[in-house]
Amino acid sequence: MTANLCKCVDKDRFDISVCYLKEKGLVGERIEEQGTRVIGVPVKDTDKIDYLTFIKLRKLIKELNIELVHTQDVHSMVDSAICKLTMPRLKSVHTFHFGNYPKREGSFRLFENLFWRVPDRLVSVAGTQAEGLMELYGIPEKRLETVWNGVDVDHALEGLGLAERFRSEGKIVIGSINTLTKQKGMFDLLDVAARLKKMHEGRFVFLVAGDGHLKQPLLNKILSMGLEKEVFLLGWVDSASRKFLPQIDIFFQPSLWEAMSIVLLEAMANGKAIVTTGVGETPRILDDFDHGRVVEPGNIENMADAIGELIVDEEKRCLYGKHARKRYEDSFTADQMTRKYQCIYESLLV
């Protein structure tokens, strides 16, 4: 989201700098390549919490004459709030990204509840997320503005080769891009693959791009279920939306919860037939049986049936992909998202 915002912002009206705490990372490098200044506000020890990073941020704000700070996570929200309390002229915006409100636990809940009153503007990325925030923290409705995420369509890069190989064998390639965590429903994906194997053996393959702490348990289950020829965990794929998404036939996202999924928007932008779960903002993004299939999370039978129908029906795959692409163009481009944030910035800086 930050990379898309930096790419599309009006450079004649806004001079943007991006700060990171731990490391620049791939997204930071991408932002820098796009021409935006990226500055480290590093902690002393990345394995420990540094409670004094707000001092470094405050110094940076003064050095660069920063007028507005836009934060994207809890740590930066706290740092920005402390800076604002000691620098009355500083304006601030905070965007919530967590996808399972009101089920927020631990220190994240504590700090959000302590500091949400400080920013001048609060932004949710989904209407369902806003409802959860108001329920959990008692945030007044007038304090929350919803700005849907938006994505940009970059030129496709050379594919991975694996998808082309399977397609040459006559298989339908079902792709998923996910961190391998409980939230993303990856064990459900394996159960769906097992059910599909009984009905369409040899006609499909699942390719999963992403890494995470559940990789080994997932690999173990793939072996125990006999799915070695149906499911392949590719690990981390750099620039997956440009290397991987263009190569697949069906995009599958079995998430158990989301706020507003960026990768779902990227699949729409690539014109892919989609099967996903009706979590978070997804039912407001996609119409079932029009832009794709939206099914109940955890319902293995319905997910498998929806994918199975698309495996055998090329015309429907093309139609869903076309409609998803049109829906993206109408509502979820990076330019549309950026214009809304620019309006927020300008309203605070007058």
| Rg, Å, the chain Cα set | 21
pLDDT band at 332 (very low <50, low <70, confident <90, very high): very high
- Kindly state whether residues 203 and 77 are assigned to the same domain: no
pLDDT band at 341 (very low <50, low <70, confident <90, very high): very high
Per-residue pLDDT tens over the stretch 154-198 = 766 666 678 888 988 999 999 999 999 999 999 999 999 999 999
Segments forming the whole domain that contains residue 170: 162-331
- Kindly state whether residues 180 and 228 are assigned to the same domain: yes
CATH number, position 65: 3.40.50.2000
- Kindly state whether residues 172 and 121 are assigned to the same domain: no
What integer pLDDT is reported at residue 45 of this predicted model?
62
Separation of CA 272 from chain center: 17
Residues of the chain above pLDDT 90, percent: 86
- Kindly state whether residues 273 and 323 are assigned to the same domain: yes
The pLDDT of 119-146, averaged and rounded, is 97
pTM for the full predicted model: 0.91
The string of DSSP letters for 226-247 reads T-TTTEEEEE--TTHHHHTGGG
Residue type, 234: L
- Kindly state whether residues 254 and 345 are assigned to the same domain: no
Q: Where are the beta strands (DSSP E) in 78-128?
A: 91-96, 121-124
CB 309 within 8 A of CB 316: yes
Question: How many domains in the chain?
Answer: 2
- Does the residue 322 lie in any domain? yes
- Kindly state whether residues 188 and 131 are assigned to the same domain: no
**Of residues 115, 149, 146, the one with CA closest to residue 131:** 146
Tokens of 232: 């392949």
- In angstroms, rounded to a whole number, what is the distance separating the alpha carbons of residues 184 and 176? 10
Tokens of 159: 């594919």
What integer pLDDT is reported at residue 224 of this predicted model?
98
- Does the residue 157 lie in any domain? no
Per-residue pLDDT tens over the stretch 4-45 = 999 999 999 999 999 998 889 889 999 999 999 999 886 666
b/e string for 211-228 if b means 16 or more Cβ within 10 A? ebebbeebeebbeeeebe
- Does the residue 86 lie in any domain? yes
Phi, psi of 249 (to 5 degrees): -100, -40
- Kindly state whether residues 121 and 269 are assigned to the same domain: no
